[in-house]
Amino acid sequence: MQLITTWTDIDPALKGASVAMGNFDGVHRGHQAVIDAARRPDAPLGVITFEPHPRQVFAPDAPPFRLMNAEARQNRLAKLGVSRLYELPFTRDLAGLTPEDFAREVLVEGLGITHVVVGADFQFGKGRAGTAAVLQDLGRRFGFDVTIQPLVGGEDGAISSTAIRTALAEGRVQDAADMLGHYHRIDGEVLHGEKRGRALGYPTANMAVEGLHLPRLGVYAVKVEVLGGPHRGFYDGVASLGVRPMFGENKPNFEVHLFDFAGDLYGQHLSVALVEYLRPEAKFDGLQALIDQMDADSERARAILARG
């Protein structure tokens, strides 16, 4: 998948795509329907999205809400067969373009798209004045096709990133997966930590979660993909998301233990799927009680993951 981070002066060979357009936070089933509608036999499949998320620009002090960082979104879109990702820098200047200016300057003159698909609730342009219907009118004026994709519904109504955040915050990871069409994942680089897990017999890969909407704190059965390096591949494991009350810390941390693994993962990038919520985080009466609980967590996670 080619990553393009501008709409100005791009290689003409990168123009002419049929694209899906939106924020695609979570790349849930509704987003996937928009992307599928953009597939055409006579054009490359592209996605236009924005980084940072517009809400981060207009409400920088709001609580973290993103289901995915940019890396996780890129990984998921690549798995869906997207060949060109136009990840446009979202600034107040871009937000200040009128719908007509956005269509002309970005979509036509900049990216040279031939077809664009948006969800029925899509809004764009200064003051969010542009709707899907407005985009359709602009497409007729400027010579590109527009498809409006109906919203995809679940058992409780339209699938949305908001509903997925609620499910994750309550530890209902399977409900979230049903709406996403895939397990919720936390992607990122393995960072150096305190190395306490190694001393306890449970070495962990530590990953940052800043800026993300946090699922319910606690312990999870996980499936892990190591995305590169000598240990590239798929592993089962158990992960802890929390503030490590046993050690008096209060900053959320994500620690992943890979079963039956030996090796150095520092600097490598992981994609960690939350398969099942096991229990809330807790403070234990001594290290041996903690180790006993980690043994029990691992045994239970192995049994869950063995079911496929």
Question: Annotated catalytic sites, by residue?
Answer: 255
Record the tokens describing residue 221, joined without a space: 């059965």
Secondary structure (3-state) at 299: helix
Angle CA 240–242–181, to nearest 5: 60
Q: How far is CA 11 from CA 86, 102, 111, 215, 288, in A?
A: 13, 19, 9, 40, 60
CB burial class (10 A; 0-12, 13-18, 19+) of residue 41? exposed
CB atoms within 10 A of CB 2: 14
Record the tokens describing residue 292, joined without a space: 């006993």
As a dihedral over the C-alpha atoms of residue 135, residue 139, residue 145, residue 149, rounded to 10 degrees, the angle is: 10
Our measurement of the distance from residue 280's CA atom to the centroid of its chain's CA atoms, rounded to an integer in Å, reads 23
Cα separation, 191 vs 188, whole angstroms: 9
Asked whether the bond before 12 is cis by omega within 30 degrees of 0, the reply is no
